[in-house]
Amino acid sequence: MKYFKSAVLLLVLLLLQTTFLKIWFGQTAPNLLLAAAVCFAVRENNYLHSAAFGIVCGILLDYTSGALFGVATLLCAVCCALITMISPHVFKAKFAATLLFLLFTAVIYEFFYYILCYGLWQQSDYWQVLLGSVLPSALLTVLAGLLMMPTVRGIADAFINQN
């Protein structure tokens, strides 16, 4: 049942991210799948489960992005595994940790995604991309993560309680 709930959540987020949010926000839309992956990673105790969830989110992002396949998968998996390893040792408050990890991960993810997919071919100025696309998208991702924390918490707790 927990896998079914996870799959439904990811599909709903994917549909929202690729349809309605692109219409409302344009290119600077929140990354809902990244926010779900980070929220899951903060709650999860096992870094392999966290990395697997990040891989699934990354594959969905890669499939729908039209950019180099594998970049989002690699970034999501590594970020989720690192968050799960670091989170229990650094932060006691899960809410504050989630907000900080969401902001940090969104900025790092968006910037590295831009560099690996577009920056290698020197398509535009890095500062313009950082201020015009990366930071607004990261802030929108944090706001979206705040809204989905309770839902992802329930799914992550189902994984934790089974082990």
CATH number for the domain harbouring residue 129: 1.10.1760
Domain residue limits at 12? 2-162
The 10s digit of each residue's pLDDT in 76-92 is 899 889 888 887 777 66
The 10s digit of each residue's pLDDT in 10-29 is 888 888 888 876 666 666 77
Domain count, the chain: 1
- Most confident stretch, 20-29, 92-101, 140-149: 140-149
Q: What is the pTM of this model?
A: 0.82
H-type alpha helices, the chain: 2-15, 21-25, 32-43, 47-65, 71-90, 94-117, 126-129, 135-162
User: CB within 8 A of 77, min separation 6: which ones?
Assistant: 51, 54, 55, 58
Beta carbons within 10 angstroms of residue 92's beta carbon: 9
